[in-house]
Amino acid sequence: MKNKSCCNPPAAQATRLATPIWAIALLLAAWLAGVCAPPGYAASDAPPWMHALVNAPLPPHDEKTDAILLYSEEILNVQPNGKIKTTERRVYRILRPAGREHGTVYASFDGETRITAIHGWCIPAQGKDYEVKDKDVLETALFGVEDGELASDVRTKVLKIPAPDPGNIVGYEIEHEDRPYILQDEWGFQEEDPVREARYTLQLPPGWEYKATFLNYAPVKESSIGNNQWQWVVSNIDAIRTERQMPAWPSVAGLMVVTFFPPGSAQNKGFDNWNDMALWEAGLVRGRRESSPEIRQKVAALTANETDATKKMAALAKFVQDDIRYVAVELGIGGFQPHAATDVFSHHFGDCKDKATLLSTMLKEIGVDSYYIIINTHRGAVNSSTPAVNWFNHAILAIKLPPQTASPDLKALYQHETLGSLLIFDPTDEMTPFGYLRGALQANYGLLVTDSGGKLIELPQLAPALSGTRRTGKLTLASNGTLTGDVNEIRMGDHAAYERYALRSAATEKDKVKPIESVLSDSLSNFRLTHATVSNLQHTDQPFLYDYSLVADNYAKIAGNLLLVRPRVLGSRSSALLETKEPRKYPVEFQGPALDSDSFEITIPPGYEVSDLPPAVDVDYDFASYHSKTEAQGNELVYTRRFEVKALTVPVAQLDTLKKFYRIIASDERNTAVLQPKSH
């Protein structure tokens, strides 16, 4: 999708043109020396709409606020031919040094967008205004995309406003013309800075209609300000402070989605519902899944030795995952429309929608139908209350399972009322095997696309036991406190995928065991890794394995004639996520369901016996559970525990319970058993 490589929350978090992170890094590095140097800029008065804000009262804010958005304005003039002319204005008062970032403005455009004017101004607390004009703007092309190469017609204009220092006011105006593929706009009026006032003005041609939907904010009544012209105004909008593991931005930020409907049966229009969008998507892929003799030959070769339908599908899926390199070529409508399956196969590369197209074509060769699912990789960006809007950045498949298909390896199943049993599969995710689905896509909403339309569906959530880390250790404690022994870790699901991604670039065996060293350093203050191996690194259909041996000096603490031993040797399941001075405002999101377990058997030193054991812990909430137990079994100290994530969202009302839950775990992880010399 456009743009899968970025995988950022949709641009609805602000109406400003998209701001690529890669452009920020390069340009800030190149201009660092001259960021705050007014010399060389034109001295020119800022426009009246900026000066009117110099003495404007500030909305409520705290001492951590870096800047105030004094005024934002979006003026849309929709033309009868579907072109949209937009004027965008923003004015910030800089309060703290970190607010200087608002002195750099990014405006991205492509073949369907033209930046017609861009200006910036600074009104210093003292002295003359400064102006930056079109001739001072730097233009750059797309580059440096993470996790894949990208050919795109997207370019970025960058404007640097001088002296964006605390106490000063900076502002800009951008005029652009767009010919959108979808007649729809999003007005994001809530930001990470407090907003004093935001305005949105819409001018439509005669006979046109619109539908406005507010999300995460009480609906605001529009005002008619002329013939087919309306305006919305909101004031004193709270800032959104970023919190760890918070929901996706579109599910918390106040915004308005506006859809435009021309009269008659114009092809280019907004989506009135999800079925409309599915029909549009179906039109984009029509004719793209035609096969070829070469594809048929490859399908025959890949499935020749398989008689089971599930194994045939898995073989084709594995080919597309591993042999089709991720490269996105997104020129014009290519940001939304997949390339033909024949081209993807012959070139051996493509992006997510290209991979889905090729796999769909290959599956058809063995008599299996499949359907596109368009989805956002940030769970919650699109949900059941979202109007039909293209906030998707990824494409996967729903594979219609043949009748009587049964396999214990097919877990990501969705039961459709007419299509029957569908297996949800991501051909781009080479680390997640056929039949499974990574956590970010589970319990997420996607648009199921068929030739006759489609609907928004909630993808399945897999059982926690399918993902997690199972750790077992057999260790021996010496009387001087030294702990030695062997540990085996079995990682499944997302936990296995994380390790495989982390080790993709590992060049040596030493590099491959660095994650083990990280785990040990988090739990042991003094250790030596004496042996380590990695297994099933390339075999994604098998659990990922670590086997290692360790020596931990001074693990047990000597107190007189006693030894104090922590039964929980490795691994931490507690979290300081909610240990903050300010109260949490947003729910907590987990990446996916998981079940972790630890089992440590520690042989105690000869001549010692167990004197005291930590209490067992049994905590079970609807979002997660934790159970641990320490026992004395003969000459061994045995510690076992299970940590399970069951729900993927913890609402604000349960955050105090979650904090308590983590504190209980932290206490258990610190607890010690007491060993004493045997009495004679």
Judged against a pLDDT cut of 70, whether residue 261 lies above it is answered with: yes
Confidence of residue 146 (pLDDT cuts 50, 70, 90): low
Check residue 373 and give left, alpha or beta (phi > 0: left; psi -120 to 50: alpha). Answer: beta
Judged against a pLDDT cut of 70, whether residue 33 lies above it is answered with: no
Token pair belonging to 605 = 């030193």
pLDDT, residue 10, reads 30
Judged against a pLDDT cut of 60, whether residue 528 lies above it is answered with: yes
| 296 neighbors 241 (Cβ within 8 angstroms) | no
pLDDT in tens, 575-631: 999 999 989 999 999 999 999 999 999 999 999 999 999 999 999 999 999 999 999
Confidence of residue 23 (pLDDT cuts 50, 70, 90): very low
Check residue 127 and give left, alpha or beta (phi > 0: left; psi -120 to 50: alpha). Answer: left
* CB within 8 Å of 99: residues ≥ 6 apart: 66, 67, 92, 164, 166, 193
Supply the DSSP symbol for 42.
B
| 361 neighbors 295 (Cβ within 8 angstroms) | yes
pLDDT, residue 15, reads 28
Of 51-55, 110-114, 143-147, where does the model show the most confidence? 51-55
Count the neighbouring beta carbons within 10 Å of the beta carbon of residue 461.
18
| 439 neighbors 566 (Cβ within 8 angstroms) | no
Q: How far is CA 555 from CA 38, 120, 531, 613, in A?
A: 60, 61, 19, 17
pLDDT in tens, 151-187: 777 888 999 999 999 999 999 999 999 999 999 999 9
Confidence of residue 267 (pLDDT cuts 50, 70, 90): low
pLDDT, residue 369, reads 97
pLDDT in tens, 189-205: 999 999 999 999 999 99
Check residue 359 and give left, alpha or beta (phi > 0: left; psi -120 to 50: alpha). Answer: alpha
Calculate what percentage of the chain has a pLDDT beyond 90: 82
What mean pLDDT value characterizes the chain? 91
Three-state SS at 387: coil
Confidence of residue 43 (pLDDT cuts 50, 70, 90): low
Q: Are strands 370-375 and 445-450 parallel, antiparallel or unpaired?
A: antiparallel
Task: Give the sheet arrangement for strand 394-400, strand by strand.
Answer: 413-416, 420-425, 394-400, 370-375, 445-450, 453-458
Question: What DSSP line would sit under 141-188, residue for residue?
Answer: E----TTSEEEE--EEEEEE-S---TT-EEEEEEEEEE--SS-EEEEE
Q: Where are the beta strands (DSSP E) in 389-527?
A: 394-400, 413-416, 420-425, 445-450, 453-458, 468-477, 483-492
Count the neighbouring beta carbons within 10 Å of the beta carbon of residue 501.
13
What is the pTM assigned to this prediction?
0.89
Query: Residue 593, class by beta-carbon neighbours within 10 Å (0-12 exposed, 13-18 middle, 19+ buried)?
Result: buried
pLDDT in tens, 616-648: 999 999 999 999 999 999 999 999 999 999 999
Q: Can you list the domains of the chain with their CATH numbers?
A: 11-32+40-54+64-261 (2.60.40.3140), 275-460 (3.10.620.30), 465-677 (2.60.120.1130)
Phi, psi of 385 (to 5 degrees): -100, 0
pLDDT, residue 4, reads 39
Judged against a pLDDT cut of 60, whether residue 439 lies above it is answered with: yes
